[in-house]
Chain A
């Protein structure tokens, strides 16, 4: 079993939809959680960063962490075509990050 599991998708939604992206993890140590967004032919860029359980909001994006069930989520409200990208979840490990496989999202007009 991988330490961070993420459904690779692809996920296709209409513009304006609420998108839910999810990951599960297996090791409870070192509990920083991050979401990265990766556009085609670009490097991953940090989108959200959180430590504690609960919600963290930034504009149309909300990161949610449930440590009791080892579940992390990213919600995108009012999705736009410009949100079309691959989204990678990550958690901290021993002086490094453990990444999920990434979920490819397509938002169509």
Chain B
């Protein structure tokens, strides 16, 4: 079975540019989570969706960040405009239930110059 698929795996761009990260969850999973991981702050939950509806976006750092889930098999995390402090690894995860084990993608390593 295919796991959670994220693209791109690496992204290097200049400050001020728009960045779009993509995620395809495991088929049949009703919950989708976006995380950010840094050495300083560890794994931080940014936002999660249930049945394509955003439930909790309290972890989204600023209005520059937005996430959408137009259908059950696709989600995006967008940063506009990007800043160097946004450099991190961004993970997408999905699960059957919100408090059950989550399955992670391999992440997008984002570098903002």
Q: Report, as a range, how many residues of chain A touch the other chain.
A: 20 to 34
Whether a CB of chain B sits under 8 angstroms from the CB of A60 is no
Interface string of A65-109 (1 = CB under 8 A from B): 000000000000000000000001000111111011110000000
Contact of B98 with A99 in the complex, beta carbons under 8 Å? no
Q: Report, as a range, how many residues of chain B touch the other chain.
A: 20 to 34
Contact of A49 with B101 in the complex, beta carbons under 8 Å? yes
Whether a CB of chain A sits under 8 angstroms from the CB of B99 is yes
Task: Give the complex CA separation of A46 and B96 in angstroms.
Answer: 14
Interface string of B86-101 (1 = CB under 8 A from A): 0000010100011111
Contact of B55 among A88, A95, A99, A101 (CB under 8 A): A95
| B interface, over-half SS | strand
Contacts of B93 in A (CB 8 A): 43
Contacts of A7 in B (CB 8 A): none
Indicate whether A46 sits within 8 Å of B42 (C-beta atoms), given known contacts A95-B50, A96-B98: no
Whether a CB of chain A sits under 8 angstroms from the CB of B56 is yes
Task: Give the complex CA separation of A11 and B97 in angstroms.
Answer: 33
Contacts of A42 in B (CB 8 A): 106-107
Contact of A95 among B43, B99, B103, B106 (CB under 8 A): B99
Contact of B104 with A44 in the complex, beta carbons under 8 Å? yes
Contact of B101 with A101 in the complex, beta carbons under 8 Å? no
Indicate whether A102 sits within 8 Å of B56 (C-beta atoms), given known contacts A32-B99, A95-B48, A95-B50: no
Chain B residues near A (Cβ < 8 Å) = 4, 31, 33, 42-43, 45, 48, 50, 55-56, 91, 93, 97-107, 109
